Amino acid sequence: MRKITILIVWALLMVTGQAFGQGVTLFDHADFIIEHPDSVNSIASDISPCIIGSQLYYSSVRKSWWEKQSRLRKNIAFYNQYQVPLDTRGQIKKGIGRQLVPGLGNDYHQGPVSYCAATGELFVTQSNTSNPDSVRRMVPRTNIRLKLVIMKRESGEWEKTGELPFNDKRYHYAHPAISAMGDTLVFSSDMPGGRGQSDLYMSVRKSGQWGMPVNLGEVVNTTGNEMFPTFLPGGLLSFASNGHPGCYGFLDIWYTTFPKISQVKNAGEKINTQFDDFGLIIGTSLEVGYLSSNRQGTGSDDIFRVDIIARSRILKGRVPVARTGQPVLLCHKEVEKSFVLKNINYDYDKWDILSESEIELDKLVQVMNDKRGIKVELGSHTDARGNNQYNMRLSQKRSDSAVNYIVSKGIDRSRIIAKGYGETQIINHCKNGENCPDWEHRQNRRTEFKIIGL
């Protein structure tokens, strides 16, 4: 017997997404350093960051309003969308100023936004008026409500492709948060039927049609304001609220599991302050995020960078060692335990690796480079819809593509096995013949890896 120290690297858990959910979250096992990037903030309001590729989008009061102090104090100046480039870690590049986002910008509000990489759609908060010039003389700007529209990029510029069917000029529909697969939209509204001044609602898209909004319920919504929802890695929904007990200040950042909501938790004093804190996002590297706050900065609201410092967890124990000197058994938390790789997506009926999937696979490449003694199986799973044999073939092709990508990054092919499981390992009740919504089927469409040996 040889005494060894087994280091379960937090980065490994972060890669697999097992650090989130099941009562264990990033907020429990990471430290946060909040930094103020001067280059991105103005003397006015800068809010609601959104990472789109290698750019950070955010809403900012346009410069023409900066001299109108009474409007700035009353928060009735109007926002445009700006962008700044990010480096490979997700931090704002130095020495490059902000620019207006091509295709966005009018006389009224444009933003916040939320981007779906899987569909290429940008969901945008916009003032609910189609002709600003004709409306300007008839309706005070402060009486114009907000609506939600969808845009896609054409020839380098964003162009409107549609509106959400439930928009109503009598009420606000704002602060979109779109799910990774583009089938669920969460947003804030003051429409009738809510519990407070503004509540969070969701709409589900089926067969290309958006359903009527459904209130997220009393676990999330209070008699106060619930606003600025965002989706975080690992199946968490973040939002800002001033109505839940235990707030550190005015608006605090809270989070809950989604779509199955059980309870809400405060993001804690390392994130929240005595001021307004809202609009938290976390990049795919899980190293850098951004939030909005009116704590001390440059203007009334500013964008702040959140550096995420993961904590390692160490387990010690005795394991038998073979004559070769190699451990016969690793800690049960590593060997033969499957970990889900988040954000591994494919086009319908395709198995080509998408750009957003490359980001996640690169993390697995890094783990295999750091732990050169491990051998891994990469397994692909489908939902129960479709022919069993077809699903088996499709899942195998998808696993083969993922393994080929990893091998192309320098990992020895003998260290990784591709396995397609089709629909043989359904993880919920959505088996053949069951009528399930797409979000439940989506739980079964997953890519997993497990360490199968040394």
Which domains does the chain show, CATH number per domain?
A: 30-310 (2.120.10.30), 330-453 (3.30.1330.60)
Q: What is the pLDDT of residue 315?
A: 37
Distance between CA atoms of residues 288 and 282, nearest Å: 6
Distance between CA atoms of residues 398 and 394, nearest Å: 6
Average the pLDDT over 294-310 and give the result: 87
Q: What is the pLDDT of residue 43?
A: 82
Q: What is the pLDDT of residue 18?
A: 38
Residues 386/388/394/396 CA torsion (nearest 10 deg): 160
Give residue 266's Cα distance to chain centre. 18
- On whether the CB atoms of residues 292 and 301 are closer than 8 A, the answer is yes
Distance between CA atoms of residues 77 and 59, nearest Å: 12
Q: What is the pLDDT of residues 68-121, one digit of tens each?
A: 555 444 445 678 899 999 988 889 998 788 888 988 866 577 889 999 999 999
- Average predicted confidence (pLDDT) for the chain: 81
Query: Is 14 in a helix, a strand, or coil?
Result: helix
Q: What is the pLDDT of residues 138-180, one digit of tens each?
A: 334 446 789 999 999 998 899 999 999 999 999 999 999 999 9
Q: What is the pLDDT of residue 61?
A: 83
State the pLDDT confidence band at 189, using cuts at 50, 70 and 90.
very high
Q: What is the pLDDT of residues 12-46, one digit of tens each?
A: 333 333 333 344 467 777 788 899 988 888 888 89
Please return the burial class of 420, using the count of CB atoms within 10 Å of its CB with bins 0-12, 13-18 and 19+.
buried
Q: What is the pLDDT of residue 12?
A: 35
Please return the burial class of 75, using the count of CB atoms within 10 Å of its CB with bins 0-12, 13-18 and 19+.
exposed
pTM: 0.65
- On whether the CB atoms of residues 234 and 26 are closer than 8 A, the answer is yes
Alpha carbon distances (Å) from 451 to 46, 204, 331, 377, 403: 45, 36, 11, 6, 14
- ∠ CA(227), CA(233), CA(234), 5° rounding? 110
